[in-house]
């Protein structure tokens, strides 16, 4: 009976109560660095922007592969697993991404093909074509969809970067019942490189599933581009975050934790290999 309650009652209640939980193709910000900075990402550059704002990888000049894991509220049934690969070419940066959220009774899968390109110092653009699959239990089957996400960035000065990103602007249908649709998500933000190794970010997010606008931001301080300390905040539910990372030659490892105001900590970890 305890296992039945856990699988069929308790976990769905957790998902319904938490606005931070992923549902219906709505994947959260990927990457432990970004999680440690309050899940701010839209104006940053770096490997995991292959998922968060594809324009942020347009300047990458090395091949890269990465894996990421998050356990929301330390529950394996609410875990997120991600992997990505990117390859710079003469016409831009190409990539492929994979995301999985959930467990056997409910799960979301997203597979993406990525293209990003820089047009000089002042403009970068990235595009991702997504295949989505949402599965609900053994009796309800799965729903498959195709959508896209697009992002832009601009270095308006040597120290200030603007970023904007939109996911699923066409709002593909999730279910025929009540004309349920997957949400569109819009983000706009700024990254300020205060000094060498010290970055501050702030961004706003609008999700069509919710009326309010989410504000979040973070700080990162790096020592000799080898050790990194991070902190962040959010105005809804996820109110505080922290993280640490280190880089040794071609390998970068990051860990972080995000604090939900009522449901506790969610730990994250990611590993990136560049070659």
Residue carrying structure tokens 């799960």: 107
> Three-class SS of residue 208?
coil
DSSP structural state of residue 158: S
Classified by CATH at the fold level, domain 2-274 comes out as: Porin (2.40.160)
The alpha helices in 1-77, defined as continuous H runs, are 2-5, 11-17, 32-36, 49-52
Residues 6+ apart with CB under 8 A from 121: 155
DSSP state of 183: P
pTM of the model: 0.87
**Residue pLDDT tens, the chain, 275 long:** 444 444 544 554 445 344 444 455 567 899 999 999 999 999 999 999 999 999 999 999 999 999 999 998 888 888 899 999 999 998 999 999 999 998 878 889 999 999 999 998 789 999 999 999 988 876 667 888 999 999 999 999 999 999 999 999 998 887 666 667 888 999 999 999 999 999 999 999 999 988 889 999 999 999 988 999 999 999 988 899 999 999 999 999 999 999 988 888 899 999 999 99
82 in Cβ contact with 99 (< 8 Å): yes
């Amino acid at each position: 009976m305890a296992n039945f309650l856990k699988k069929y009652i308790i976990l769905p209640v957790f998902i319904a109560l938490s606005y931070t939980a992923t549902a219906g193709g709505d994947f959260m910000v990927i990457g432990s660095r970004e999680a440690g900075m309050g899940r701010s990402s839209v104006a940053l550059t770096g490997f995991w922007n292959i998922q968060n704002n594809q324009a942020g990888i347009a300047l990458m000049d090395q091949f890269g592969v990465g894996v990421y894991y998050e356990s929301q509220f330390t529950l394996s049934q609410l875990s997120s697993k991600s992997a990505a690969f990117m390859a710079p070419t003469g016409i831009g940066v190409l990539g492929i991404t994979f995301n999985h959220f959930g467990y056997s009774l409910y799960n979301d899968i997203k597979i993406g093909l990525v293209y990003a390109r820089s047009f000089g110092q002042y403009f970068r653009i990235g595009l991702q074509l997504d295949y989505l699959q949402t599965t609900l239990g053994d009796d309800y089957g799965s729903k498959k969809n195709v959508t896209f996400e697009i992002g832009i960035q601009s270095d308006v000065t040597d120290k200030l970067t603007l970023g904007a990103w939109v996911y699923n602007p066409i709002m593909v249908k999730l279910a025929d019942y009540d004309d349920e649709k997957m949400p569109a998500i819009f983000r706009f933000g700024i990254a300020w490189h205060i000094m060498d190794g010290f970055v501050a970010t702030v961004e706003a997010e609008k999700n069509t599933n919710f009326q309010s606008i989410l504000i979040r931001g973070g700080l990162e301080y790096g020592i000799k581009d080898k050790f990194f300390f991070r902190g962040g905040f959010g105005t809804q539910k996820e109110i505080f975050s922290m993280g640490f990372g280190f880089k040794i030659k071609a390998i970068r490892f990051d860990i972080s934790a995000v604090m939900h105001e009522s449901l506790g900590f969610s730990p994250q970890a990611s590993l990136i290999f560049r070659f």
